[in-house]
């Protein structure tokens, strides 16, 4: 079972502008720009070009910070690790669905 290690602020449907996102995520706005440039965060741009972040991106920053602190990797290497972890999670999800269909039971957790 996985769960975020940060509290989600406000309603889950809202978006955060760069300043609010940086405050909530505990990072400098320049670091947010850097993580976007590296492809580690995926904000939405509005018609004026402003960045808007979902609450899932706050969770992504917490994950990046934990991995960087725990493994001591540079930010580009973190992109690879995050991609691999996401792929493993997807494969595990597919395996749970396949094995539950085959056995006729409920998916294992």
pLDDT tens digits, one per residue of 8-46: 444 444 799 999 999 999 999 999 999 999 999 999 999
Residues in a beta bridge with 16:
53
* Top CATH class, 15-103: mainly alpha
Q: How is the chain split among helix, strand and coil, in percent rounded to 5?
A: 60, 10, 35
What is the pLDDT confidence band of residue 108, given thresholds at 50, 70 and 90?
low
- SS3 string, 62-91, reads HHHHHHHHHHCCCHHHHHHHHHHHHHHHHH
CA-CA-CA-CA torsion sign (8, 14, 19, 22): positive
Domain limits of the chain?
Answer: 15-103
Assess whether pLDDT exceeds 80 at residue 100.
Answer: no
> Which residue do the tokens 């957790």 mark?
109
pTM above 0.75, yes or no: no
pLDDT tens digits, one per residue of 39-89: 999 999 999 989 999 999 999 999 999 999 999 999 889 999 999 999 999
């Amino acid at each position: 079972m996985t769960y975020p290690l940060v509290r989600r602020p406000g309603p889950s449907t809202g978006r955060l502008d760069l300043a609010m996102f940086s405050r909530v995520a505990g990072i400098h706005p320049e670091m947010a720009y850097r993580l976007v440039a590296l492809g580690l965060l995926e904000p939405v741009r509005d018609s004026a070009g402003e960045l808007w972040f979902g609450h899932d991106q706050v969770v992504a920053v917490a994950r990046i910070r934990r991995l960087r602190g725990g493994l001591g990797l540079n930010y580009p290497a973190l992109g690879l690790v995050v991609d691999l972890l996401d792929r493993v999670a997807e494969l595990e999800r597919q395996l749970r669905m396949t094995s539950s269909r085959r056995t006729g039971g409920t998916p294992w957790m």
